[in-house]
Amino acid sequence: MDALSELLHTVRLSGALFLEARFTAPWCALVHPSYGAAEMLARFNPVVFFHILTTGRCKVRLAAGGDAVELAAGDLILMPQGDTHLLGSDLQLAPVDSDSLMRPALAGGMPTVDHGGGGDEVRFLCGFLSCEKALCRALLDALPRLLRVPLGDGPSGAWLMGLAHRGAQENAAPGPGAGTVLAKLETTEYAADVARAKALLAAAEARLAELERGNRPEEIAAAKAQLYEADAQRQQLLSDWKRKTQLRESKVLTENEYEQAEYQYKAMDRRVERLKYEYQLMVKGPRIENINVARAEVSQAEADLTRAEWRLDNCTIRAPISGTILKKNAEEGNIVNPIAFNGSYSLCDMADLSDLEVELFIQERDIARVSKGQRCIVRAEAYPDREYRGVVSRLMPIADRAKGAVPVRVKLTVPAEEEGVYLKPEMGAIVSFLKTTE
C-alpha cells in the first residue's frame, strides 16, 4: 500500500454525492449544507460539505457575512465547518430557503433542485466528505470557512467532472452485491475493547472538564477558612510563647517547656504560610501544563477509541464490489488466522464478471504489431462460435525471459445477459488482433 492510500485508510476518508441542482438567472438560495442528505448522514460522520459547479457562473458567500466569491464551471467550493451560505446569480436578491426547493429522487437518480427565472443556467453536484474527526480536527480547524478550489477546464478537470457524474449515478443506484455482508467474525473481545475505550475517553474528558472549569467557589472558601483558622491558632501560640519567655527569665519555667512553646509557634507559623500559598493556588486554578496534559490524554483516548471501533468494524466483512463469489474458503465456525497463512488467507474469491480481461503472452518478435487500444476479437475455446469485442488495455512493463514473451491484457465487453454464462475466469480463449488502419 502506498503512502497516500495508507493515509486515507488511517483517517477513514469516505463521502458521497447526494444532490443535483439546476438554477436559472435571476436566483438566490440560502443553502444549509446538509439539506437533502438526511438519510445518508445517518450512516456517515460528515465533516466537509462541498459543491461542484459543472455549468455556468454564480456567486457564493457565507450567510453570516463576508466577501462574495465568483464561481465558474469546474470550481469546487468547500465548507469545512458546515456553514450556511448564499448561492446565486445576484446575492442582493431575497434568498429562497433551499429546503423548500427539494424534489424527491426518481428511480436511478438523486434528489434534485430546479429553480430560477429562466435565464442563464447553472448546475451543481452537492456532496460531503467524511473522515475521523479525532485525526483531522487540526487540519479542519485551520481551513477557511469557505474555500474555492478551481479544478480547471483542461483534460484533468473534464475527467474529474465525468468521474463526479459517474459517482453520482453509482451513489444513487449502487449495483447489487456491493456492500453485502459476506461474513461476521466473533466480536466479543473487540466489542469489549470499544466499551473500555469509551469509558477511558469519558474519564479523560471528565478530568479535562474539571481542570478547565477550575476550583469551585466552595473549595476556595474552604481553603480561605482553613487559612484564617490556622492564623488564629498562630496568634494564640505566639501569645503563649511570649508569656513563657517572661516566665523563663524569672526562672519559673523549665527550659523544656519554653522550647516546646517556641517550636509549636514556629510550626504553626510555617503552616499558616503553607496554607496561604495553597489558597493562592486555589484562586489561580490549575496550571496550564496540567490542562494541556489532560487534553493530550483526551486525544489519546479518542485515538484508542478510533482504533477499537475500526477493529470492531473489521469483524463485519462486506463485498468490496458488485460481483460473483467464485470460491468459498471458510465455513461458519472456522477459526480464521491470516498469520498462519503468511497474511495471504481470504474468506472467498470474488470477481466482477462484467469486467473481464484476457491475459496472454505475445512473443517478442510479434510485440511490435500490438499496441494499446488495438481492437480484438475474443473467442472462448469452449464456445468458438461466440465472438466478443475487446481492446488491448495493457502491455506489461516487464517481459517473461523464460517464455521470451511480453504479457498483454485484453479487456472484454460482455453483454449483461451473458455475464458468467459463456466466459468464466481461468477459461482458455483465442484472441484475434485486428490490423490498425491509418
Domains of the chain: which residue ranges? Answer: 3-173, 215-285, 353-433
Reply yes or no on whether the pLDDT at 171 is more than 70. Answer: no
Domain 3-173 top-level CATH class: mainly beta
Cα(289)–Cα(280) distance, rounded to whole angstroms? 18
What is the rounded average pLDDT for all residues in the chain? 82
Cα(229)–Cα(276) distance, rounded to whole angstroms? 12
pLDDT band at 86 (very low <50, low <70, confident <90, very high): very high
The alpha carbon dihedral of 180, 185, 188, 190 has a sign of: negative
Name the 3-class secondary structure at 7: helix
Q: What is the pTM of this model?
A: 0.50
pLDDT one-digit tens code per residue, 35-61: 555 555 555 555 678 888 988 999 999
Reply yes or no on whether the pLDDT at 413 is more than 60. Answer: yes
pLDDT band at 69 (very low <50, low <70, confident <90, very high): very high
Strands 112-116 and 121-130: unpaired
Q: Are domains 3-173 and 353-433 of this chain identical in fold?
A: no
From residue 314, alpha-carbon distances to 14, 38, 182, 187, 191 in Å are: 16, 25, 12, 10, 11
Cα(185)–Cα(344) distance, rounded to whole angstroms? 17
Q: Average pLDDT of 26-40?
A: 73
pLDDT band at 438 (very low <50, low <70, confident <90, very high): very low
Beta bridge partners of 394: 409
Cα(357)–Cα(86) distance, rounded to whole angstroms? 48
pLDDT one-digit tens code per residue, 239-263: 888 888 888 877 777 888 888 888 9
Residue 69, judged by CB atoms within 10 A of its CB (0-12, 13-18, 19+), counts as: middle
The alpha carbon dihedral of 332, 338, 340, 343 has a sign of: positive
Q: Which pLDDT does position 48 carry in this prediction?
A: 79
Q: At 290, phi and psi to the nearest 5?
A: -65, -35
Q: Average pLDDT of 182-205?
A: 91
Q: At 285, phi and psi to the nearest 5?
A: 90, -175
Q: Average pLDDT of 332-359?
A: 75
Grid coordinates belonging to 242? 511570649
* Element containing residue 79 per DSSP (H, E): strand 75-79
Grid coordinates belonging to 191? 466489542
Residue closest to 344 by CA, chosen among 329, 359, 326: 329
Helices and strands counted in the chain (H then E)? 8, 21
Beta bridge partners of 316: 184
Cα(14)–Cα(136) distance, rounded to whole angstroms? 13
Place of cell 484562586: 283
* Element containing residue 287 per DSSP (H, E): none
pLDDT one-digit tens code per residue, 221-231: 998 999 999 99
**Beta-carbon count within 10 A of 161 CB:** 19
Q: Which pLDDT does position 248 carry in this prediction?
A: 81
Higher model confidence: residue 152 or residue 81?
A: 81
CA atoms in the 13 A half-sphere facing the CB of 362? 21
Alpha-helical regions (H) of 285-410: 288-313
Domain 353-433 top-level CATH class: mainly beta
Reply yes or no on whether the pLDDT at 299 is more than 70. Answer: yes
Cα(275)–Cα(227) distance, rounded to whole angstroms? 5
